[in-house]
Chains A and B, each alone.
Chain A
Amino acid sequence: MDRKASMISRFILIAFLGLSSATLCAQTPWEVPADRNIKLSQTEFADQNRNTGKDLYMTNCKSCHGEPGKNNAIRLVPQPPDPATVQLQQNSDGALQFKISEGRGPMPSFKNILSSADIWNIIAFVRSYNKDYKQQIAVRPTFGGEVFDKVSIQLSQEQGKTSVVAMVTGERGGLKKPLAGLEVKLFVRCYFGNLIVDKPIDTDANGKVNFNVPNNLPGDPTGKVALFAQLSNEELFGLVKTEAVMTIGIPTSKPPLNEPRALWNVVQKTPLWLLFTYIICVLAVWGLIFVVLFKLKTIFELGKAVRVDD
């Protein structure tokens, strides 16, 4: 059989098997809670948003959804929709925001990877493929009628080393006030993405949250861990985020993989057994080659002294 045809037929078979097993998953519609469905962006989508959104889309979304309008999404079941299609564009802004944030099945959740503002930037970019789209802008909600110049989080470490305290304060006219009832999340920075610590907790009457840090959290060689805390609700005050480095982890000293002598390392870090084997073999063989060349020279010298008629 022709190779391409056989590939296609194999593909159809796989797709068919995949479909039948994934039918259940594909049949249930993706329910968006009513309050999330009507959610809107607080800012008007501008070119700047769309450009940032494009960069973010290309990094985080393209590998499955493909380039918008080019119909080159990865073939999966269920099929990740091309953002330029009606299937995707018929979602409300709030529904898109919900689906990107929460994820379902093979679609990952991005709420701990991208900020709320960045998710809106991606929506801004995606909407640029919809000519009929008219953006509605949300009215910025207020925090019990109060307005602040600045809202901030302070991170501090409890004595026993097992918990981290986050305190949320609002500042207006030089006066600081603890803010109660705001959900705060604490994260640890890892090599790949961020790791949430404990769970999201609301601030108490003193504007404080107490996060329990697991006692087996690996830190750097001195036990330091890079943390950051942020308010879950970005609509009230925008992105409120604080970073801190604290000595709350277990001192972990794992040398980087490029530190020891190893097969995968640079030539200066060749394993010694290999270095010596190579050098000894090369020297031995080439040494003997020079012995042979020396013998050749001896033959030549001996011949000078002799006069024989052949």
Chain B
Amino acid sequence: MASEVNTSFLKDRRLDRIATDILRPVGVDRGFYIWMASLGTLLLVCLYAYFIQLDKGLIVTGLRDYVSWGMYISNFVFFVATSLVGMLISSVLGMMGYKWIKPIGRIAEIIAVAFSAVAGLVIVSDMGRPERLPYVFMYGRIQSPILWDVTVVTTYMTLSILLYILTMIPDMAISRGRIGHAPTWLQKTYEFLSFNFKHTPEQYKILLKAVRILLILIVPTAFAIHTVTSWLFAVTTRPGWDSTIFGPYFLSGAFVAGSAAVIILMFFVRNNYKLNRYITLEHFDKMGKLLFLVSIVYFYFNLNEYLVPAYKMKTFEARHLTELFVGEFAFMFWSVQLLGLIIPMILLLFKPMRKPMPMLLIAIVVLIASWFKRLLIVVPTMESPFLPKQHVPDAWMVYHPTIVETAITIGTITLAVMIISVLMKLFPVIPIWEVAEEESAHPDQQPVE
């Protein structure tokens, strides 16, 4: 992000066209109501499942003494991972001066806000006694990574929300008088969120400074959130978790999941909102290259994470790795590694594969695989404890997620999709002012739609 804004774009007539294009889908319509009502119904069903869990306790899940972290914690790691893309795109690429990320920066922010907000709830879903959540703050130990995790998740969520709101302030001001088609309450919300922004150079200067602070702050916080999440595992001595590279391994995996999520939303925005003038083929091409880059880094960490212990085959690691490579989890493991990492990497090398449609399919598979990848990190280790499993019911030996558990997990995903839907439908999904400024500065460039 530049340190100064050339406010001449406000006088440029291109602004009108850009604002009209981007604000056209904003508002509530029939389709949105139906979409939200369906999601709401699904969420209600899942809430009923949560009510059952609240009433009966965690016994309604497949979690038992050996596998006490199952789908819920895997889901938590997935949510935290996906939310990190906000940092990657807006902060890292943005501050490095890449202009092409401007139209998709807000999409990444929306994902960051939705996924980090729901991540906290996912943790609560794993608690048998959620009313004891305040105990974490009342009696928590600073020595415990759990407390660090609670701290950084809250901080990252706050930073993401602030970054989303602050970068939207000029858009809220631009939209004044341009969203007559939207309901009054939405117009009032826009008025409120514009914070009296009048596009004065002084206001821009302060705004840019504030945004810059956030962008810088969000980098270490995002690193912290996922590194600490990885430490929840890595500070134990258990096979599969006892690893020194777990922090970067989780981070690189997070960027894969997040980039895939951004690509899916980009496709949606381009096609459903008809914004292909702003989210162009070039953006898909660039995102494809980015996904390839983060995938190859993640592949490198996977190679280290599995090959090094597999070369040594220490007693307990060997049992765990055998389960993954040829045992009970082999099908899931190889599907995830091939479909979620290796095949997409190869495909993305070819330019035709970086077109919107192939990219959408690749991104969906990658995102699903990255959910299962988290399950593969959590469950197999818990199923191979150091001491032999004996004198326990058969149900304790192997983890089988129950319907209630699955429903609650689907509920959290539904909730994230609902937050994303609201943010994407009710607010401009592409930063009007940044795009307008860019076009005004380079009037000769024509986008390749």
Contacts and interface: CB of A to CB of B under 8 A. Distances in A.
- A6, A74, A266, A308 — most chain B CB neighbours (10 Å): A308
Given A264-B143, A267-B141, A292 B166 contact: yes
Nearest to A284: B217
A310 interface: yes
B176 A265 contact: no
A303 interface: yes
Contacts of A275: 142
Nearest to A307: B198
Given A3-B398, A303-B196, A310 B143 contact: no
Interface in B120-163: 139-143, 148, 151, 155, 158-159, 162
A72 B195 contact: no
Contacts of A238: none
A6 B197 CA distance: 69
A299 B140 CA distance: 38
A299 B207 contact: yes
B432 to A, nearest CB: 12
B394 to A, nearest CB: 8
A291 interface: yes
If over half of B's interface residues share one DSSP class (helix, strand or loop), that class is named, otherwise mixed; here it is helix
A35 to B, nearest CB: 39
Given A285-B221, A308-B198, A310-B199, A296 B210 contact: yes
Contacts of B314: none
B155 A271 contact: no
A295 B195 CA distance: 11
Nearest to A297: B195
Contacts of B177: 310
Interface centre among A3, A266, A303, A308 (most CB of B within 10 A): A303
A307 B202 CA distance: 14
A270 interface: yes
State which size class the interface on B falls in.
Answer: 35 or more
A265 B143 contact: yes
B202 A263 contact: no
Interface in A62-115: 72, 74-75
A296 B195 contact: yes
Nearest to A301: B196
Contacts of B196: 299-304
B169 A299 contact: yes
Contact of B143 (A75, A270, A295): A270
A302 B221 CA distance: 30
Nearest to B169: A299
Contacts of A306: 198, 200
B28 interface: no
Interface string A203-236: 0000000000000000000000000000000000
Interface string B85-102: 000000000000000000
Contacts of B206: 295, 298-299, 302
B139 A267 contact: yes
Contacts of A288: 213, 217
A274 interface: yes
Contacts of B207: 295, 299
Nearest to A271: B143
Contacts of B166: 292, 296
Given A72-B391, A310-B174, A278 B162 contact: no
Nearest to A267: B141
A179 B210 CA distance: 93
7 contacts: A271-B143, A282-B151, A285-B155, A296-B195, A299-B197, A299-B207, A301-B196
Given A263-B143, A295-B210, 16 more contacts: A265-B143, A270-B142, A270-B143, A271-B143, A288-B217, A291-B210, A296-B166, A298-B206, A299-B195, A299-B206, A299-B210, A300-B196, A302-B196, A302-B203, A306-B200, A310-B10
Interface of A: 3, 6, 72, 74-75, 263-267, 270-271, 274-275, 278, 282, 285-286, 288-289, 291-293, 295-296, 298-304, 306-308, 310
